[in-house]
Amino acid sequence: MKPLAHKVAIVTGAGHAKGIGRAIAVKLAEQGANVVVTDLQQAAADMDSAVTQLSGLGVDAMAVAVDVMDKTQIENCVQRVLDHYGRIDILVNNAGVGVGSPDFTELTDQDWNLSLQVNVKGMADFCQAVIPAMQAQGGGSIINIASLAGLGAIEAIPACYTASKFAAIGLTKQLAVNYAKQNIRCNAVCPGSIVTQMHKQTLEFIAAEHGISVEEAQQHEDASIPMGYSAEPSVVGDAVAYLASPAASYMTGVTMPVAGGMSPGI
């Protein structure tokens, strides 16, 4: 039997076909979990595509439009999942934004508000909504997608993004302590250089800043990675599937870098 057979997972921000959220959803489905994908309403077509892909892996899949800045939408999503499946075993908080200028003096209130509202408050609200169900059923696993920027400052990353990811890790560790005795594990995955749309935007900024091509910016970044390359989103999915599985049953409060050996400091 697959390690996550009959488990029910919610993965936020899972619409984009090439994104980390979709890769996580696929890996969980491959391990046998029924998966609920969420994203913004404007990504409805992408979510439908995700459901088709996941259903093709032999599991039950469902899409729910959720803006994580709206607590009511989060609560309605959780209730809908409970009504349909009767339980929630895994929550993966992947929804996030990367906004703002790397120049700290150019950051706006909107940059800060959006970063904190989505990357921290939305994550906290989803945790708050699922924890009572996990308590009632005797346990569960929460996995928060943070960033290597939550472990140390990285060049060309906006301060509002870095601060929000540090906060996400702090939230993870506090929940791990609070709910360990109730068999609710809470861990964080900290991706490094992963080939996504956000990664492309960072490379474009570096290229423009230094007057080089995007390809040269990628080569420069690869040279800073001990393993020598930027990875596909599936590697993050592998880490999440492990943390959600019984193999990680004694792990909580962990911040797991998935970064090819990169290790930034403050």
Q: Indicate which CATH number applies to the domain containing 179.
A: 3.40.50.720
Least confident of 30-34, 114-118, 148-152, 222-226: 222-226
- Phi, psi angle pair for 69, to nearest 5°: -85, -5
* Helix, strand, coil percent values for the chain (each to nearest 5): 50, 15, 35
What is the C-alpha separation between 68 and 131, in angstroms, rounded? 16
Say yes or no to pLDDT of 266 above 70. Answer: no
Of 161, 179, 229, 250, the catalytic one is 161
Average pLDDT over residues 204-233: 88
Closest alpha carbon to 129 in 86, 177, 51, 74 = 74
Sign of CA dihedral 174, 176, 179, 185: positive
Closest alpha carbon to 40 in 18, 61, 21 = 21
Between 221 and 49, residue with greater pLDDT = 49
Determine the pLDDT at residue 197.
74
The β-bridge relationship of strands 8-11 and 184-191 is: unpaired
Alpha-carbon Rg for the chain in angstroms: 18
User: What pLDDT band is residue 34 in, cutting at 50, 70 and 90?
Assistant: very high
Note whether residue 81 is domain-resident: yes
Which residues on neighbouring strands pair with residue 38, listed in sequence order?
64
Q: Report residue 95 as tokens.
A: 């929804």
Total domain count for the chain?
Answer: 1
List the domain range (segments joined by +) for residue 26.
8-192+232-258
User: What pLDDT band is residue 265 in, cutting at 50, 70 and 90?
Assistant: low
User: Given strand 61-65, what is the order of strands in its sheet?
Assistant: 61-65, 34-39, 8-11, 90-93, 140-145, 184-191, 255-258
pLDDT > 70 in the chain, percent: 99
| pLDDT tens per residue across span 182-218 | 999 999 999 999 998 777 777 887 788 788 998 888 8
Catalytic status, residue 242: no
What is the C-alpha separation between 76 and 60, in angstroms, rounded? 20
- Tokens 């390359």 locate to 229
Average pLDDT over residues 65-87: 98
Say yes or no to pLDDT of 228 above 80. Answer: yes
Average pLDDT over residues 149-175: 96
Determine the pLDDT at residue 172.
98
42-65 as b/e, with b when 16 or more CB fall inside 10 Å? ebeebbebbbebbeebebebbbbb
Say yes or no to pLDDT of 116 above 50. Answer: yes
Note whether residue 177 is domain-resident: yes
